[in-house]
Amino acid sequence: MPASPRLADYAVHVEQSRGRRYPEAPHPYRDDFQRDRDRIIHSRAFRRLENKTQVFTNRISDHFRTRLTHTIEVAQISRTIAAALQLNEGLVETLALVHDIGHPPFGHSGERALDLAMRKHGARFDHNLHALRIVERFEQRYASHPGLNLTFEVREGIIKHSHDYSPEEYPELAEYFLAQRPPLEAQLIDLTDEIAYNTADLDDGREARLLRLDEIRREISLFERCFRQVEAEFSNVSDKLKFNEALKRMLDRMVTDLIENTRHRLRESGVKTLEDVRHWSVRLAAFSPGVDAERAQAKRFLSEHLYHSESLRPQKADGEKIIHELFTYWIEHPAALPAGYQAQMATEGPARVVCDYIAGMTDNYILGLYRKLTGRAVGKQS
């Protein structure tokens, strides 16, 4: 593979990758990170994202994001930022495409319910660690090895993109240098994820008529500034168009700030190489303090007015109930699990096996199983 001359020294250079668990011959046309990206796209877990909740379970509009379209938006934003910062676009795109692959059905309420069920068995559910299990073990596509055999840097990014795991608590993750910062390519993902959902959820929330333009304008100062600009430039267009244009500018403002502020922090820190990035005391990819405060304001608004709204409570309660009941059912009736899962019981223990089984399901699939096993339907599925 040719070297990558446009990459900064602080970027991850594919030719210096720590490689795969099972060595493979190089590909003539794609470097290792591009191959990892393609392996993710061709995985079953990736296709299932189409039917996993982002925010809305009841599909009252075809325009709402699913976890798949959200993922594609995160990938798009991440590539722009990676290119501007001379980071490895192939690695960033791969990490963006894989970042939500470990999510169970029913979005965050599903995650909470599964974690609650696992705690009763002295364990936890964590979607990043689950994503690692998916790519290392559950995807069966290659005759020569289990899982997708992804490069070290992609596996490291999967677990380290959103938070730090302590080496004492997770000795099984020791190979991923838990005491060090992840490369900038991984650091970006959590921030681009936020840019994507803080804007998309305003859009979908308004489409669902759960959020009103006047309250968004009143409570999110970054949106309000963008909206005023748009009003001054386009007085004769509909509110809907002004909203869309303002939202686009809000997204652009956050992306630009993330690029410029990260560049500024790199300059100030004197960080030159990937090793410097890894050993720096904090993550260097960051919004400026002003935009970060506005980001937090938007996130708080969405949390209060959308994620924890009365209107979404029934769908969340249904999701939690289904997961709780089915988890309990399979713990009590392990013989009802598919043969492949039963075979894992001896090594993994019943709770982890049931957890893995449920976490892999799409919303539709688990709803269908619930109906079949209990004879009861839940919620309005349109």
**CB of residue 276 to Mg ion, shortest distance in Å:** 28
DSSP character at residue 21: S
Q: CA-CA distance, 170 to 337, in Å (whole number)?
A: 29
**CB of residue 194 to Mg ion, shortest distance in Å:** 9
Whether the Cβ atoms of residue 12 and residue 153 lie closer than 8 Å to each other: yes
Whether the Cβ atoms of residue 15 and residue 279 lie closer than 8 Å to each other: no
Q: Cα dist. 157→84, 259, 265, 356 in Å?
A: 20, 19, 21, 21
Full DSSP string of 137-153: II----SSSSS----HH
Give me 287's structure tokens.
Answer: 């919004």
Of 131 and 353, the one with the shorter C-beta distance to Mg ion is 131
Instruction: Compute, in degrees rounded to 10, the torsion defined by CA atoms 176, 179, 181, 183.
Output: -20
Whether the Cβ atoms of residue 150 and residue 36 lie closer than 8 Å to each other: yes
Q: CA-CA distance, 70 to 54, in Å (whole number)?
A: 7
Stretch binding Mg ion (CB under 5 A), from 136-144, 187-195, 231-239, 308-316: 187-195
Q: Check binding of 193 to Mg ion (CB under 5 A).
A: yes
Q: Check binding of 194 to Mg ion (CB under 5 A).
A: no
Q: CA-CA distance, 347 to 24, in Å (whole number)?
A: 29
Q: Per-residue contact track with Mg ion, 315 to 354, x per CB under 5 A?
A: ----------------------------------------
Stretch binding Mg ion (CB under 5 A), from 30-38, 123-131, 143-151, 192-200: 192-200
Total number of residues binding Mg ion (CB under 5 A)? 2
Q: Check binding of 73 to Mg ion (CB under 5 A).
A: no
Stretch binding Mg ion (CB under 5 A), from 107-115, 191-199, 326-334, 352-360: 191-199
11-70 residues in contact with Mg ion (CB under 5 A) are: none
Q: Check binding of 100 to Mg ion (CB under 5 A).
A: yes
Closest CA to 77 of 193, 183, 161: 193
**CB of residue 225 to Mg ion, shortest distance in Å:** 26
**CB of residue 2 to Mg ion, shortest distance in Å:** 33
Stretch binding Mg ion (CB under 5 A), from 43-51, 116-124, 189-197, 317-325: 189-197
Q: Check binding of 201 to Mg ion (CB under 5 A).
A: no
Of 55 and 337, the one with the shorter C-beta distance to Mg ion is 55
Stretch binding Mg ion (CB under 5 A), from 58-66, 85-93, 190-198, 258-266: 190-198
Q: Cα dist. 354→1, 118, 212, 272, 290 in Å?
A: 43, 10, 41, 46, 45
Of 100 and 356, the one with the shorter C-beta distance to Mg ion is 100
110-149 residues in contact with Mg ion (CB under 5 A) are: none
**CB of residue 99 to Mg ion, shortest distance in Å:** 6
Of 149 and 362, the one with the shorter C-beta distance to Mg ion is 362
The helix/strand/coil state of 53 is: strand
Q: Per-residue contact track with Mg ion, 162 to 181, x per CB under 5 A?
A: --------------------
Full DSSP string of 307-369: IT-GGGHHHHHHHHHHHHHHHHHHHH-GGGS-HHHHHHHHHH-HHHHHHHHHHT--HHHHHHH
> Could you list the residues that contact Mg ion (CB under 5 A)?
100, 193
